[in-house]
Amino acid sequence: MTDDTQPPWTFLSNHAHVLILLHSEADLVLRQVAQRIGITERAVQRIVRELEEGGYLRRERVGRRNRYQIAKRMPLRHPIESHRTVDQLLELVTGHVGKQPKRSPKKSETQR
């Protein structure tokens, strides 16, 4: 099957996609998240707000940017998978729950 014939749905929700990206790269700006997922920046902002309100995501201001921290021990929300946690989902999809997320190099590190 070529990319042109792929169905317009995926197995994971946009909420899961946002969590996965922010787990892998905690310093991404929401515009980058939107581009990678293929949804609007406004939709990503809504999802981040919902994830924060639900206790699944915490935003920390670092300079002029945000860094996101995932609450990995939270249970998944649907009754079918509520016996599993966010970290189990992340491990399944990314294969690296225990690893540190990628971080943008500090200005002083890039000037060495």
Using the predicted structure, report yes or no on whether residue 101 has a pLDDT greater than 60.
Answer: no
Report pTM. 0.79
Q: What is the CATH number of the domain that holds 93?
A: 1.10.10.10
Domain that holds residue 61: 11-97
Both tokens of 26, joined, read 């905690």
Provide the pLDDT for residue 20.
Answer: 96
Judge whether 76 lies within some domain.
Answer: yes
Q: Which DSSP string corresponds to 14-49?
A: HHHHHHHHHHHBTT--HHHHHHHHTS-HHHHHHHHH
Judge whether 105 lies within some domain.
Answer: no
Judge whether 106 lies within some domain.
Answer: no
Provide the pLDDT for residue 65.
Answer: 92
Both tokens of 74, joined, read 């939270």
Asked whether the beta carbons of 68 and 57 are under 8 A apart, the reply is: yes
Judge whether 26 lies within some domain.
Answer: yes
Q: Longest C-alpha distance within the chain, in Å?
A: 51
pLDDT digits over 36-84, tens only? 999 999 999 999 999 999 999 999 999 999 999 999 999 999 999 999 9
pLDDT digits over 7-42, tens only? 678 899 999 999 999 999 998 999 999 999 999 999
Judge whether 111 lies within some domain.
Answer: no
What lies within 8 Å, CB to CB, of 79 at 6+ separation is: none
CA dist., res. 99 & res. 81, Å (int):
24
Judge whether 66 lies within some domain.
Answer: yes
- Packed helices 14-24 and 41-53: angle between N→C axes, nearest 10 degrees: 80
Provide the pLDDT for residue 95.
Answer: 87
Judge whether 5 lies within some domain.
Answer: no
Tally the domains of the chain: 1
Judge whether 102 lies within some domain.
Answer: no
Provide the pLDDT for residue 9.
Answer: 86
